[in-house]
Amino acid sequence: MQSSTWRVRSCIRCELASLLTRPRHRHRHHTPPMDTNASAAGEQRITRVLFCGPHFPASHEYTTQYLQSHSFIKVDVLPLEHVPQAIPNYHVCIVKSMKLDSHIISRAARMQLIMQYGVGIEGVDVEAATKHGIKVARIQSHATGNSASCAEMAIYLMLGLLRKQNELQISIQQRKLGEPITETLLGKTIFILGFGNIGMDLAHRLRPFGVKVIATKRSWTSCTQHPSKLIRSNVDDLVDERVNHEDMYEFVRKADIIVCCLHLNSETVCGFIQSFIVHYFCCFLLVFFHFLFHYRYKKSAGIINNDFISSMKKGALLVNIARGGLMDYEAVIKHLESGHLGGLGTDVAWNEPFNPDDQILKFKNVIMTPHVAGVTEHSYRTMAKAVGDVVLQLHAGQPLTGIEIVN
């Protein structure tokens, strides 16, 4: 009896278990409950792009327009002071004029790529980004028309100084005709500091003006060994004299106009002396303390310093379309006041936005533009496409193309 009762109870337990585990058929119109995990996964599939700061507005406006049909890409622009708090939420960062130090980069938990909307990336701590597994990239200037735009701006500034643009406006106000007497580019010697993409485009555009071109480059071997025959022939056709860094001062004395197209880095900021000691440990110390000092006082003494300007021909002109930190502010002021420096045309400043009441703008032979050398409709539309395409590649897990990764 007990054995029989045990079997009945066992069968009842099995049937109950079967009923409890048997799938139940829902009504065909029944909506299953939301899968919160799936919702979270959907949120993660959105790639978020951060543009730092309101300046250079066409950069984020054109990029947003280019990506507007892709709902899985979100583009935001934030004030600079909000970036440190918000950066953990983003996958791509376009720095523009933002300084991304190691502290900010350490907060970028989801960041995969930091880019500049252009060439210069001196504001990014590349070592810190590398440490945190974040790629850092620039957009090559020759591929977007940026170098051509900068070259055109250099010529604009040269002509503005030679034709005494500021004095012409005074003559108009005073109703004078035929004053002042101005100068021409014809027969001038132009010294291009930094014969990269911008320098090459500049030399190409200067040829019809009937000028002599001198240029300096860190390594001319890179040009002579370039796989493109066009690049090799351009160097021979466009440059009358090639200059090495150690001979720079000798040729500075020959130039009527010096155009700075250099990158801002440890070599160019600390000045010409680094060409001789760059391989030694003392150079490292020099660079370190130089950055430490000038980061604090924000008026960095670059390669265009007192010795450099003193070596220039009296009355020669200086044009800068690279970075303000390449020029020693005090040295420029000093030589403008003495008349040794014939004029300054610059698209970049020591602090940006620059103070419109700064004393340097009171000189008639100073022309400053608001960092717009590369800001043209063509170059910015092309760069927006480059950024947009890279973001789409990143989202799809594809190899990144169209940019130069530096780490």
64, pLDDT greater than 70? yes
The predicted structure's pLDDT at residue 384: 96
Confidence of residue 286 (pLDDT cuts 50, 70, 90): very low
The predicted structure's pLDDT at residue 28: 31
* Range 375-388 average pLDDT: 95
pLDDT-above-90 percentage for the chain: 68
CA 325 – CA 299 distance, rounded (Å): 7
Q: Which option is the CATH number for 147-220+235-266+299-373: 3.20.20.70, 3.40.228.10, 3.40.50.720, 3.30.200.190?
A: 3.40.50.720
- The alpha carbons of the chain give a radius of gyration, in whole angstroms, of 30
The predicted structure's pLDDT at residue 34: 30
CB 345 within 8 A of CB 158: yes
109, pLDDT greater than 50? yes
What six digits make up the tokens of 71? Answer: 């709902």
Quote the mean pLDDT of the chain: 83
13, pLDDT greater than 80? no
Higher-pLDDT residue of 106, 221 = 106
The predicted structure's pLDDT at residue 31: 29
- Sequence-distant (6+) residues with CB within 8 A of 10 are none
* Range 190-215 average pLDDT: 95
234, pLDDT greater than 80? no
Lowest-confidence segment of 212-226, 300-314, 372-386 by average pLDDT: 212-226
Note the pLDDT tens digit of each residue in 15-43: 444 444 444 333 333 323 333 333 444 45
From the list 334, 305, 302, 332, the residue with the least C-alpha distance to 317 is: 332
pLDDT-above-70 percentage for the chain: 77
46, pLDDT greater than 50? yes
CB 62 within 8 A of CB 87: no
The predicted structure's pLDDT at residue 308: 96
CA 63 – CA 100 distance, rounded (Å): 21
Higher-pLDDT residue of 211, 97 = 211
CA 318 – CA 345 distance, rounded (Å): 6
The predicted structure's pLDDT at residue 140: 83
> If phi over 0 gives left and psi between -120 and 50 gives alpha, with beta otherwise, what is residue 315?
left
Amino acid at 399: P
What six digits make up the tokens of 167? Answer: 């004095």
What six digits make up the tokens of 129? Answer: 């980004």
The predicted structure's pLDDT at residue 265: 59
Element spanning 299, H or E: none
Q: What distances in angstroms separate CA 328 from CA 317, 321, 324, 331, one per listed residue?
A: 15, 15, 9, 5
Confidence of residue 44 (pLDDT cuts 50, 70, 90): low
Domain residue ranges in the chain = 47-144+378-405, 147-220+235-266+299-373
* Range 392-399 average pLDDT: 96
* Range 186-197 average pLDDT: 95
From the list 179, 196, 314, 211, the residue with the least C-alpha distance to 264 is: 196
CATH 3.40.50.720 at 47-144+378-405, yes or no: yes
347, pLDDT greater than 50? yes
Note the pLDDT tens digit of each residue in 304-318: 999 999 999 999 999
Confidence of residue 245 (pLDDT cuts 50, 70, 90): confident
Ranges assigned E (strand) in 246-315: 257-260
Higher-pLDDT residue of 301, 248 = 248
Higher-pLDDT residue of 382, 36 = 382
Ranges assigned E (strand) in 161-203: 189-193
For 12, list phi and psi in degrees, rounded to 5.
-60, -45
